[in-house]
């Protein structure tokens, strides 16, 4: 018989499958202090929380029988993941339960924006009957740009089509085939920025998506467009948005999220007559709260019964013998995945992982997850982790292929990551651990190389001609970019070659453009491995 403690207010309907299970006893005890939880948690196999309970390392340490912690919601900031991982406690959340709720909120915000509903309401209740000031626009026939076609973005697109809107869709994993099935037009960010009448954002906040809509994008937008953000604060540059509205480029905006929450009292969004705001209400419905509880309850049961489960946000238990062999390669594998992803321009269709040497004799599944996480993190940010990486790849129609080669290929162990993208694009990177040197990238494409995968790097594809290295060094020096290390790889003298440089700081995009414009240089790409 399993015992589960529910320490936060969660609806009875949400945990009904737990209370009705014949092999489970459920206790609801809310409002407990840390000391009170520590005193009783040792009796329980599972703990269910929302956001009120902070699950500290002391609570987890006291949970001698604890196998799973379920968060009835998405965020797990109130759970000490490191402590749970060390104790082998699986932490799960419910990322799907608020999909429809957030979608509907985004659509409600878009309609309110189009028809000035909050502003008209505020004026009408003061006794002023003003029809002339609130001339709106129809959604029918307008182009809606959806940035991020995951669960929520796809649902928004469905509803927008029902309103007669034309959908321009961008997602780094959206293929032409999937776009056709969803009946949307596959577009680039630039296509959407230049052509959309409305833009709605549904991407996680990552280094790549932070301020993806900023001054350069606002400068080329269609005059009179409108923008909605019910995803993450920081995806849209708030200061640049206010400037664009005041300049008459953007007709209005609707935001449910802020870069800092709650926003400061003098935040310009709070008083701007053309901006609608709500206090992060995307998931705030009765149905969503019940759905997340239902979802997490189901997974808790699976874990306690040793059945397959999803939505874990930390590493599942791994046999010590396997862990000892693989753990030294986890960080290297994730960096190789990230490196390969950052140099791939097209939509990734397949991830090929090859292990040579001693690694070929080990079950590499835990290591596979680190590598795939590295590939996906560029687009999913913190939403990708070592447990859900394979699930994210599957739902994004990315095939993962694993092969083993017993021959060491000049190294005791070698990890090769090859990405296949639309249009026939193929990117390959190999790495190993060298005694005395640590993690090394030893191959990029067909070119041998030897450099540590760390910090800010620049990958330069060029023709092997005299003076190339000097030109690159001079240009970077002129732009205050200091080179820490450099490696050049070539196969044939005078043929194609690559140059991989480690530099001391982030490289401005304009410097990369100047690099790519140098004679005999083909491409220049920044890779960040922090």
Active site residues: 232, 261, 280
Looking up tokens 């906040």 gives: 205
| Phi-psi region at 436: left, alpha or beta (left = phi > 0; alpha = psi -120 to 50) | left
Q: Which two tokens stand for residue 507?
A: 């490289």
State phi, psi for 285 to the nearest 5 degrees.
Answer: -135, 160
Q: Are 189 and 214 in contact (CB under 8 A)?
A: no
For 173, what's the count of Cα atoms within 13 Å in the CB-facing half-sphere?
Answer: 26
- Least Cα distance to 521 among 493, 498, 494, 487 occurs for 498
CA–CA gap between residue 329 and residue 358 (Å, rounded):
12
CB-based contacts of 282, cutoff 8 Å, min separation 6: 98, 101, 102, 105, 106, 230, 256, 257
| Chain center to CA of 500 | 26
CA–CA gap between residue 171 and residue 181 (Å, rounded):
15
CA–CA gap between residue 241 and residue 269 (Å, rounded):
10
CB-based contacts of 247, cutoff 8 Å, min separation 6: none
Q: What is the CA radius of gyration of the chain?
A: 26
Q: How far is CA 326 from CA 226, 340, 359, in A?
A: 50, 20, 8
DSSP state of 221: S
- Least Cα distance to 441 among 352, 332, 330 occurs for 332
- Three-state secondary structure string covering 325-382: HHHHHHHHHHHHHHHHHHCCCCCEEEEEEEEEEHHHHCCCHHHHHHHHHHHHHHHHHH
State phi, psi for 321 to the nearest 5 degrees.
Answer: -65, -40
Written as one string, the DSSP assignment of 20-73 is: T-TTEEEEE--S--HHHHHHHGGG-SEEEE-SS--B-HHHHHH-TT--EEEESS
CA–CA gap between residue 341 and residue 375 (Å, rounded):
5
DSSP state of 414: E
Q: Which two tokens stand for residue 97?
A: 């339960």
């Amino acid at each position: 018989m399993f015992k589960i403690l529910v320490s936060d207010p969660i609806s009875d309907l949400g945990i009904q499958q737990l209370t009705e299970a014949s092999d489970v006893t459920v206790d609801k005890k809310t409002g407990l202090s840390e000391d009170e939880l520590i005193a009783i948690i040792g009796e329980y196999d599972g703990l269910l929380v929302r956001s009120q309970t902070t699950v500290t390392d002391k609570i987890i340490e006291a949970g001698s029988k604890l196998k799973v912690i379920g968060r009835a919601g998405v965020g797990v900031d109130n759970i000490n993941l490191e402590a749970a991982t060390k104790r082998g406690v699986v932490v799960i959340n419910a990322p799907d339960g608020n999909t429809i709720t957030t979608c509907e909120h985004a659509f409600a915000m878009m309609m309110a924006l189009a028809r000035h509903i909050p502003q008209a309401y505020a004026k009408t209740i003061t006794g002023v009957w003003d029809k002339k000031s609130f001339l709106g626009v129809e959604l029918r026939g307008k182009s809606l740009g959806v940035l991020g076609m995951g669960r929520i973005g796809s649902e928004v697109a469905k509803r927008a089509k029902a309103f007669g809107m034309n959908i321009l869709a961008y997602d780094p994993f959206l293929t032409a085939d999937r776009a056709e099935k969803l009946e949307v037009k596959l577009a680039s960010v630039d296509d959407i920025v230049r052509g959309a009448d409305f833009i709605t954002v549904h991407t996680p906040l990552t280094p790549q998506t932070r301020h993806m809509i900023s001054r350069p994008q606002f400068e080329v937008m269609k005059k009179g467009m409108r923008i909605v953000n019910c995803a993450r604060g920081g995806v849209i540059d708030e200061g640049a948005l206010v400037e664009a509205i005041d300049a008459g480029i953007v007709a209005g905006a609707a935001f449910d999220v802020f870069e800092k929450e709650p926003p400061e009292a003098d935040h310009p969004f709070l008083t701007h007559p053309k901006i609608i705001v709500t206090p992060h209400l995307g998931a705030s419905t009765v149905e969503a709260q019940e759905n997340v509880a239902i979802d997490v309850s189901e997974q808790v049961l699976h874990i306690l019964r040793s059945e397959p489960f999803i939505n874990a946000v930390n590493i599942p238990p791994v046999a010590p013998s396997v862990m000892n062999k693989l753990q030294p390669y986890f960080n290297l594998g994730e960096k190789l995945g990230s490196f390969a992803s950052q140099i791939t321009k097209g939509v990734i269709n397949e991830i090929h992982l090859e292990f040579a040497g001693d690694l070929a004799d080990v079950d590499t599944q835990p290591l596979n997850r680190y590598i795939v996480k590295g590939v996906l993190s560029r687009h999913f940010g913190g939403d990708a982790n070592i447990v859900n990486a394979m699930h994210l790849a599957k739902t994004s129609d990315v095939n993962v292929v694993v092969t083993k080669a017993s021959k060491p290929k000049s190294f005791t162990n070698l990890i090769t990551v090859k990405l296949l993208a639309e249009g026939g694009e193929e990117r390959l990177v190999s790495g190993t651990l060298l005694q005395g040197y640590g993690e090394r990238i030893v191959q990029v494409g067909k070119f041998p190389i030897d450099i540590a995968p760390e910090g800010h790097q620049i990958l330069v594809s060029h023709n092997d001609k005299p003076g190339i290295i000097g030109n690159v060094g001079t240009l970077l020096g002129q732009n205050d970019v200091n080179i820490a290390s450099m490696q050049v790889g070539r196969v044939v003298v005078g043929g194609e070659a690559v140059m991989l440089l480690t530099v001391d700081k982030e490289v401005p995009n304009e410097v990369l453009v100047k690099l790519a414009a140098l004679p005999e240089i083909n491409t220049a790409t920044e890779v960040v491995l922090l």
